[in-house]
Structure 1
Amino acid sequence: MKKFVVLCTIVGLLLAACSRGPYTATNKFYKKQAKSYSKILATYPLNDSGTTFVGTVNFTMRAPNFVIIHHTAQGSCEQTLKTFTTPVSKVSSHYVICKSGEVYQMLNDMLRAHHAGVSRWGTTTDINSCSIGIEIDNNGREPFTEAQINSLLQLLDRLKKKYNIPTTNFLGHADVAPGRKVDPNRYFPWQKLAEHGFGYWYDTTNVEVKEGFDALMALRTIGYNIANPRSAIQSYKIHFNPQDTTTVLTETDAKIITSLLERYK
């Protein structure tokens, strides 16, 4: 009887452990870290600088102004969740969208995720500090599922309305990190996103390219970092002309960029 009781106790403990879920420990860490940040916000002044603190009544939390879209370049949604809950990886994202369309939120929108790395768009150089990162489960060499795109559109609609994010500021990782990143891949439906108000698309109907038009400088005006021209051109083509894998700007590109310039500048 005693052995039976011990056995039942062990089984009960194992079942309890399983029921807690694989992310119980990391969820606990998240809550602890968020609580520590809330204590910092409530502390004033933060240091003894000899200044006098007078709290203003006119302030809000700093909201994100960009959305950066990625593909995970991993084998499964579960693998990505594991990566983002492993301290040694030092990478994270606000949202992960699985092939089934299921959406995981991994970080409060107001907190800074480590998703964009060294990046730039226009004069903005610390993209992580002003953006929301969305990772889509995709190995980088395949189309995205319909369920993923539908979930993404719903998520983007909510984010755009909630934070008043400008249409121009829905970008890919490749856009803000030319030469370093190529995600989301050339299968990503940027035109469909633009049709729903997330980024712009071009219309070359009746477009005339002016004499002396500098397409590369126009890319810079749009927002691309052209320090490495070939990388900038590659990133532009991944987004707007994915069928062309060259890093040379053609007459077709000049028309596309002329059209985009009117929308993005």
Structure 2
Amino acid sequence: MRRISFPSLVLTLAVFIYACSPNPYRAINKQHKKQVKAQTQKIAEIPEVRQEGDTTNVTDLWVGTTNFSIRKPNFVIIHHTAQDSLEQTIKTFTLSRTQVSSHYVVSKDGEIVQMLNDYLRSWHAGRGKWGHDTDLNSSSIGIELDNNGSEPFTEAQIESLLRLLKRLKEDYNIPTANFIGHADIAPARKVDPSAYFPWKKLAEEGYGLWYDDYLMMEIDVPTAPGTYTTETVMLETVPDHFDPKEALRIIGYDTSDLGSAIRAFKIHFIQTDTSGELKENDIRILHNLYKKYL
């Protein structure tokens, strides 16, 4: 009888167990493939031309041009999941009744789960608006971070996010200013990715804009006779004619609900105070940023 070494036996058992283990996402991946095929058929379909007496079709002649390509994303929108685990988020994004999805989900331990091809339209932005773009689902990549919205993001998660953003920026030549948050595009409805999100760190790596923090200085501000409090103040002066509402609009915010737009701006750029009111120092920071978007 042939002897089997213990290491070989362990390896054989491991291979057998892996081969027999059910893939929990096999069914949904099969369904995804079927839906991709259906969408591909729509793209490849040759439009019908109008026949004599036809009053419904406007195409008189079909000539297939060879000068075309697939549309590519121009924005990256970052979210937090507001759920309790990666597994819960994946389930939410694979149930048809939820009508919500994302291209990527990044777990707390840094695992990156891709759920949709970059060129396909994910349902993550909803009724968002940024500048004149009112269909951000069609022009953006959605990235969800596994985070309940009331906790800091993990170092592993942010490092993985930065690697993903690097690839997306290089592949699609996405402008630096076009890395934004869900709250930025939907200020009246959303607050993600929360004031815990390290937007400054991302901006330092080239993903999103930030104000000139070298102009920030700690100064002692009198609060009462003989007492002071230390505040960090933007030293740049603001001209008298500066209009904060117009500045927010130029940056991209929907200012139809001004209080919500201010809150979204502060979630992104102020973070220590996320009220819907601009203080003097907030206005200075806004003015400094506004000039970068001109």
- TM-score normalized with structure 1 length: 0.91
Give CA-to-partner distance per residue, 1:157-201, whole Å, 9 cap, x none: 100110111111100000000120000011000000000110000
Give the drift of 1:41. 1.7
The 3-state SS of whatever aligns with 1:79 is helix
Q: What is the aligned counterpart of 2:35 among 33, 36, 39?
A: 33
Q: What is the aligned counterpart of 1:101 among 110, 115, 140?
A: 110
The 3-state SS of whatever aligns with 1:134 is strand
Q: Which runs of 4+ in 1 moved over 6 A?
A: 15-18
Structure 1 residues 255 and 133, CA gap change in structure 2 (3 angstroms): same
Is the counterpart of residue 253 in structure 1 residue 253 in structure 2? no
Distance 1:46 1:20 in 2: 45
The 3-state SS of whatever aligns with 2:130 is coil
Choose between structure 1 and 2: higher strand proportion: 2
Is the counterpart of residue 138 in structure 1 residue 147 in structure 2? yes
Matching residue's letter, 1:96: V
The equivalent residue for 1:91 is: 100
Choose between structure 1 and 2: higher helix proportion: 1
Give the drift of 1:40. 1.6
User: How do residues 113-152 of structure 1 correspond to structure 2 at under 5 angstroms?
Assistant: 113-152=122-161
Matching residue's letter, 1:214: D
Q: What is the aligned counterpart of 1:172 among 177, 181, 184?
A: 181
Is the counterpart of residue 64 in structure 1 residue 73 in structure 2? yes
The equivalent residue for 1:227 is: 256
CA RMSD between the two structures: 1.6
Distance 1:62 1:173 in 2: 22
Matching residue's letter, 1:154: R
Give the drift of 1:94. 0.2
The equivalent residue for 2:204 is: 195
Give the drift of 1:105. 0.2
Give the drift of 1:140. 0.2
Distance 2:163 2:240 in 1: 42
User: Percent of pairs identical after alignment?
Assistant: 57
Matching residue's letter, 1:254: I
Higher radius of gyration, 1 or 2:
2
The equivalent residue for 1:3 is: none
Q: How many residues were matched structurally?
A: 251
Structure 1 residues 47 and 34, CA gap change in structure 2 (3 angstroms): farther
Give the drift of 1:58. 1.2
Higher relative contact order (CA 8 A, sep 6+): 1
Is the counterpart of residue 213 in structure 1 residue 242 in structure 2? yes
Structure 1 residues 51 and 17, CA gap change in structure 2 (3 angstroms): farther
Matching residue's letter, 1:105: Q
Residues 49 and 60, structure 2, Cα contact 8 Å, conserved in 1: no
Give CA-to-partner distance per residue, 1:190-230, whole Å, 9 cap, x none: 00000011000001625220112111211111100010111
Distance 2:110 2:136 in 1: 26
Matching residue's letter, 1:226: T
Give the drift of 1:19. 2.2
Matching residue's letter, 2:244: A
Unmatched segments (≥5 aa) in structure 2: 1-16, 51-56, 216-234
Give CA-to-partner distance per residue, 1:14-40, whole Å, 9 cap, x none: x89962311111100111111111112
Give CA-to-partner distance per residue, 1:32-78, whole Å, 9 cap, x none: 11111111222212565342111112111000111000000000001
- TM-score normalized with structure 2 length: 0.82
Larger mean Cα displacement after TM superposition, 18-27 or 142-151: 18-27
Unmatched segments (≥5 aa) in structure 1: 1-14
